[in-house]
Chains A and B, each alone.
Chain A
Amino acid sequence: MKKPEEVFEILKNKFPEAVLELHSEQPVEPIITIEPLKINEIGLFLRDEEDLEFDSLMVLSGVDDANGEKDSDDEGTEIIKGGTLSVYYHLHSIKNKHKVTLRVSVTKDQPEVESVEGIWKTANWHEREAFDMIGIKFLHHPNLTRILMPYDWPEGSHPLRKDYKNPEFYLGMKVPY
């Protein structure tokens, strides 16, 4: 069993450039920040390395960090423009009974993260959800299509983004109340 701090030390020694820092803010569990385009290499290492063996990706979630500029739209509703999007990976080792949380952050202009679908199959649908809701593009994902919203929902329209604006009509049906 290893603490997140120990996992961080192992990762920092193995990938000095890809592993950025460790955030420990009680009571939230410590979070290791990773380069978005290196997450697949680090994931594979975490899964296969002896003593670590993170064989289960419990959840992968996309987040709009809401740290951009506050602005208001034509109707005066507050929206947040710019800022960053993040993906959180909660890993668990069934054998060693330890957990770790990883995070990658990308800008809204270029939200590109490497897919971990090849490492944990769980990630397939979770990455599709993060793409659908937040608009994060997972590179080398085998089928990055919408999973919850209809397939013909307007391209580039991701409902959980803080600068999201609902369309007036969808297939002739009025959307606002």
Chain B
Amino acid sequence: MKSLLDTEFSDSNIVIAKADDLMNWARLSSLWQLGFGLACCAIEMMATSASHRDFDRFGVIPRNTPRQADVIIISGTVTLKMATRIKRLYEQIPDPKYIISMGSCANCGGPYWEHGYHVLKGVDRVIPVDVYVPGCPPRPEALLEGLLKLQEKIRNESLRKRIA
């Protein structure tokens, strides 16, 4: 009996690709985000999901449990009280997982940097961040750009070595 590689195929519906490329393509095309909003940035995130900007065309679908999510968009002010919960949510997400830090508050504390007694000055103090989106709040276009940057990052990953 002939093995698979010796078989002749009459039609050409077989594509040969590197495993890395295939995995990366699958991952970056279905970035399911945790349905999770923190402050006014969440309003822009919802606008990005809505029909006009349509996050879904990049494969971003909100999931209601961290077990099914691939990416968290930290959309808003991270208070010290919330930071402990965010860390737990992050740890509940199975690998590979990605973080987009959206807006000035999540990036560095934003307007609360000096007198915000209750604000964590940047979500990267508790979890690793892949992409920072500046703005207060960022426009939906900026968030989309941030997502494209994350996709670019995932495209260059390797199964042997994660970079994102």
Are A and B genuine complex partners?
Answer: yes
- Please report A residues at the B interface, Cβ cutoff 8 Å: 148-150, 159, 164, 166, 170-171, 173-177
Q: Contact check, A171 vs B84: say whether CB atoms are below 8 A apart.
A: yes
Nearest Cβ distance between residue A79 and chain B, in whole angstroms?
A: 13
In the complex, B126 has a CB within 8 A of chain A: yes
Which of B33-41, B53-61, B92-100, B114-122 forms part of the interface with chain A?
B114-122
Q: Contact check, A173 vs B83: say whether CB atoms are below 8 A apart.
A: yes
- Please report B residues at the A interface, Cβ cutoff 8 Å: 80-81, 83-84, 108-109, 113-114, 117-118, 120-121, 125-126
Add 8 more A-B contacts to A166-B117, A177-B114 (CB < 8 A).
A170-B80, A171-B84, A173-B83, A173-B120, A173-B125, A173-B126, A177-B108, A177-B121
Nearest Cβ distance between residue B123 and chain A, in whole angstroms?
A: 11
> Nearest A residue to B108 by beta-carbon distance?
A177
Query: In the complex, which residues of chain A have a beta carbon less than 8 angstroms from the beta carbon of B125?
Result: 173-174
Question: How many pairs of A and B residues are in contact by the CB < 8 Å rule?
Answer: 29
Q: Contact check, B114 vs A175: say whether CB atoms are below 8 A apart.
A: no
| Secondary structure call for the A interface | loop
Cα of A121 to Cα of B67 in the assembled complex, Å: 41
Q: Contact check, A150 vs B81: say whether CB atoms are below 8 A apart.
A: yes
Query: In the complex, which residues of chain B have a beta carbon less than 8 angstroms from the beta carbon of A149?
Result: 81, 118
Nearest Cβ distance between residue B124 and chain A, in whole angstroms?
A: 11
Q: Contact check, B80 vs A173: say whether CB atoms are below 8 A apart.
A: yes
> Which of B84, B108, B117 gathers the greatest number of chain A CB atoms within 10 Å?
B117
Query: In the complex, which residues of chain A have a beta carbon less than 8 angstroms from the beta carbon of B108?
Result: 177
Query: In the complex, which residues of chain A have a beta carbon less than 8 angstroms from the beta carbon of B84?
Result: 171
Nearest Cβ distance between residue B83 and chain A, in whole angstroms?
A: 6
Cα of A73 to Cα of B108 in the assembled complex, Å: 26
Q: Contact check, A176 vs B80: say whether CB atoms are below 8 A apart.
A: no
Cα of A117 to Cα of B51 in the assembled complex, Å: 48
Nearest Cβ distance between residue A57 and chain B, in whole angstroms?
A: 26
Q: Contact check, B117 vs A159: say whether CB atoms are below 8 A apart.
A: yes
Q: Contact check, A150 vs B80: say whether CB atoms are below 8 A apart.
A: yes
